[in-house]
Amino acid sequence: MAKNSALLKRPSAIAYDQQTAKIILADKTGEVHSFPWPLSPSEQEHYNRINTLSKDPVTRPEDERFMGTFLLGHSSSVVAVSLLSSRLGRFLVTVDRDEHVRISVFPETYIIHAMGLGHTAFVSAVVSVREGIISGGGDKRIIQWDVDGNNKAEYTCENGSCVRWIRKWKDEIVVVCDGYLQILLNFAEQRSSIVEILQLDGLRPVQKIEMDTPVLDVAFLDDTMYISLDAKQGQWVKEYTHTGKEWKIIESNQWEITKREETSVEMYWLEKMRKRIGQGDEE
């Protein structure tokens, strides 16, 4: 059984790079490290040996038990990370509480390729698309950036207090505003054809799915979308199928619970990312 590396700080975002077999992990202090996974037999044997050296907590990166490799640092908490492959190369995208979208060369992450500057509140979500990224945050704005950090298009959510998640499915992105609703946005990706680039019309809403229960997240399996809800009883997961034009609910496949036990897990923590709570979206 493979053991896990100890962490120096509380983690805040994670991604996995299959090409290099590395876990990319950000923490609350703004540092980002990579960890090998899975471990080779020699690495696992080495880790099993050094892990028995001490029972004390790991507090220094020089500790042999810490398997992380430092990639980059922000001056504030990193909230989300994403890996981007483009015609210009590979990049690691990190977003933080200070409204920054950083695009770093990967794995030479000490090289900052570009910065996306435009959000007016913390950035809480980011997803990579062809030749660019899409981010969202506490200003309720969804911004599409190219690889060089240029604002190509944007959309503002009407409901909710901030963007919770952004998920990509084919030529659509699904935006979850914190605890309120789903907004589906059509996203025409850039392709090699000049005609396709000219047809890029930015972010535009194509469907809105409103719930009477707060939405936690969404996931996809082929043409099925699963929406998880913060339900104390009744439906806690709803299934939708794509008809080719829009998402339709699958009425026969509703997952229900009779009663949910109270939990201390904090589900709506993003509002605490605001620098001055109670003063609206302006920072």
Average pLDDT, rounded, for the chain: 80
The band of 5, judged by pLDDT with boundaries at 50, 70 and 90, is low
The domain defined by 74-212 folds into Methylamine Dehydrogenase; Chain H (2.130.10)
Q: What is the CA radius of gyration of the chain?
A: 20
| Per-residue model confidence (pLDDT) at position 158 | 74
Read off φ and ψ for residue 46, nearest 5 degrees. -65, -45
In the beta sheet, which residues pair with residue 31?
Answer: 73
Listed by start position, the domains of the chain span 74-212
Distance CA 42, CA 96 (A): 36
Give the model confidence (pLDDT) of 261-270 as tens digits.
Answer: 666 666 777 7
> Taking a C-beta distance cutoff of 8 angstroms, is the pair 226, 236 a contact?
no
pLDDT tens for 150-163 read 999 988 887 777 88
Q: HSE (CB half, 13 Å, CA atoms) of 10?
A: 4
How many angstroms separate the CA atoms of 31 and 37, rounded? 19
CA atoms of 148 and 129, how far apart (whole Å): 14
pLDDT at 280 over 80: no
Query: Does 111 have pLDDT greater than 60?
Result: yes
pLDDT in tens, 62-81: 777 778 899 999 999 999 99
Reported as a pLDDT band with limits 50, 70 and 90, residue 253 is low
pLDDT at 61 exceeding the cut of 70: yes
